[in-house]
Amino acid sequence: MLIISAVLAVFYPMLFAESNSVDDRDMIGNLLNMNTWSLKGLFVPGASGGLYYRPLLYLTFILDKDLWFLHESFMHLENILWHLINVLLVYSLAVHLLPPEKKNSSYLPLVAALSFGLHPLCTEPVNWISGRTDVMAGTFVLGSAVALLKFKLERSRKFLFLSIFSLLLGMLCKEVALAFVPGVLLLLVAKHPEEATMESRPSERFARIVQRLVPFLLVGAGSALLFFYLRSLAFSSNSSRITKTLKFIGNDPVHSVFVCLRAFGFYLKKIYAPFPLNFAIVEVDPLYELLAIPLVLLCIWLVYRRTLVSAIFLSGAFLIAPSFLIAFNQIAWTPYAERYAYVPSAFIIVASVFYFGNKLQESRAGVVKYGIPCLLVLLGLATLLRTIVWTSNLSLYGDTINKSPTFSNAWNEYAIALIHKGEFEKAKSALVSAGKLYRFEYDQKADLNIAGILVLQGREDEAMKLFDKIISKTHGKSSLVYEHVVAHLYDRLLKSKDSAEKRQICHDLVRYSPKLYALNKDPYILFRMGQIYFSLGERQNALNYYKQAYNEFHEGDKYKTYAQKLIARLEKE
């Protein structure tokens, strides 16, 4: 009850929080526009290519829509409850590391669970609705680890199969779960506490290790093969961003090694010293490469030690490895992020609490009695304050631009938050600041948002001039600017009551819409073009566009049926 109360208390403010303007609102919008879905389409979409294969995660978002219509409070509550499950699993994991005589008397599991549950690094994945992918993956990876330890102690096959199933579910939430496969091997070959004191011949020790390789092949290799089989059914090829990253690594292997060392040192440091907290970590100090060298040597020594605690620590270290690919800045919006340390921190915190806790209990009872509770209170307070920052986009991105002032995307999100608050002049000032940042190529986002502010202020002519300027700067190859222009024109068309103005807007739509279609090939644009030409009285052009739209729409699409009816109507006239 103490664990549950503490975790709910520090994350309680998120029940009244906004959805994040990065990913959350786009995801919610896509779900609202989704008409139908099926389990087969979710798990085996048969797409030509893809980056993320996370059907179990997407299923929870679809259920959010069906159960409470994507209400933000409920979606935030779900994230908090997933995290709470993880905290309880950390408690269970820690209990399984204790010798039988200490299971009912040691405070180490409680300290480990609270240290993880109240850790400030948890705020990003828990408070960000889209961060649920890390939290859910953590649930099933931790569940797999607990089941594996149960199998190790009781030799019951049901726990072995539970571990396989749980790890597979983790992979279906986020690919990072694959990195637990080496951890499975380490946990299986680790010595029991009583085994560490037993004397045995080298041949007997080797035989025990070989005997444990069979469960590893079932859990680690088996779940990974199942995941890749399902992914191959879903996607016929990988995203170009994965290929680009692998090519980048291959072009300069030496530099790539240092990038990985830097990320490893950075994330391990973050787990022990998480401050400053930042939603947009765009670069880290190269000195972390030096820190990583003794840490790698430590990991090698822990492999040799072959204890359960060292296996837990090394499992966390391996779970950091997927973040190395992100550090090459070819996949995610920032090369580093606090959420990537979420799952690894659960294992590393447990191992650290056991190592340092045993040392402190042996020597300094006062530190244990007073120091650890004070540390947990400070962790909880820091997490609560960070959670309050996350409750609104304005406070979050205000904090982000202070810590990453050269990151233009953060300035854009801050400006969007100001626009939603009606503070247009402050928003324009922020966007101008974003526009002044040095970049290798033109970034249209700041100008698009300024154009949006001009529209909100009723300065449509100035907005259109700025849209045309953006089109010129992007050489007419940006579908995003055309989407903004066409959406703005349709909005004006709906609001206008003057027939002459409506006709001019229709002519503008006729000019911009074909360019948008040439870039995104959306047949709905053709259908709307038919409507525009019909309103202009140009029946033949309307008929041609309806026919083209009819041919482009997929079977079963309701607009295909609408187009067919309109074609029949026009051909009769």
Instruction: Give me the amino acid identity at 350.
Output: V
Global pTM value: 0.87
Asked whether the beta carbons of 283 and 329 are under 8 A apart, the reply is no
**Beta carbons within 10 angstroms of residue 391's beta carbon:** 17
Q: What does the CA dihedral 404, 405, 409, 411 come to, rounded to 10 degrees?
A: 130
pLDDT digits (tens, 9 = 90+) for 486-499: 999 999 998 888 88
Residue 258 has which token pair? 């240092």
Instruction: Give me the amino acid identity at 41.
Output: G
pLDDT digits (tens, 9 = 90+) for 5-17: 999 999 999 999 9
**Beta carbons within 10 angstroms of residue 551's beta carbon:** 11
Using CA atoms, how far apart are residues 416 and 24, in angstroms rounded to an integer? 14
- Using DSSP's 3-state secondary structure scheme, residue 47 falls into strand
- Phi and psi at 50, nearest 5°, equal -170, 160
pLDDT at 571 (0 to 100) = 87
Using CA atoms, how far apart are residues 530 and 564, in angstroms rounded to an integer? 12
Using CA atoms, how far apart are residues 54 and 161, in angstroms rounded to an integer? 22
CB hemisphere CA count around 177 (13 angstroms): 38
pLDDT at 199 (0 to 100) = 46
Name 50's bridge partners.
238
SS3 of 116-172: HHCCHHHHHHHHCHHHHHHHHHHHHHHHHHHHHHHHHHHCCHHHHHHHHHHHHHHHC
pLDDT at 197 (0 to 100) = 45
Q: What does the CA dihedral 415, 418, 424, 429 come to, rounded to 10 degrees?
A: -40
Block means of pLDDT (10 residues each) for the chain, length 573 residues?
97 97 92 86 78 92 95 97 98 93 88 97 97 98 96 87 94 95 90 54 60 71 85 72 66 88 97 96 94 96 93 97 86 87 98 87 68 93 98 97 92 93 92 79 86 90 93 92 93 89 92 93 93 91 93 88 91 81
pLDDT at 359 (0 to 100) = 73
Alpha helices in 334-478 (DSSP H): 342-363, 365-366, 372-390, 393-403, 408-420, 424-436, 445-456, 460-473
Using CA atoms, how far apart are residues 548 and 399, in angstroms rounded to an integer? 49
| Listed residue (471, 500, 472) closest to 485, CA to CA | 471
pLDDT at 212 (0 to 100) = 65
Residue where the block lists tokens 């324009």: 428
Name all contacts of 362-369 with Cβ < 8 Å and 24+ positions apart: none
Residue 37 has which token pair? 């879905």
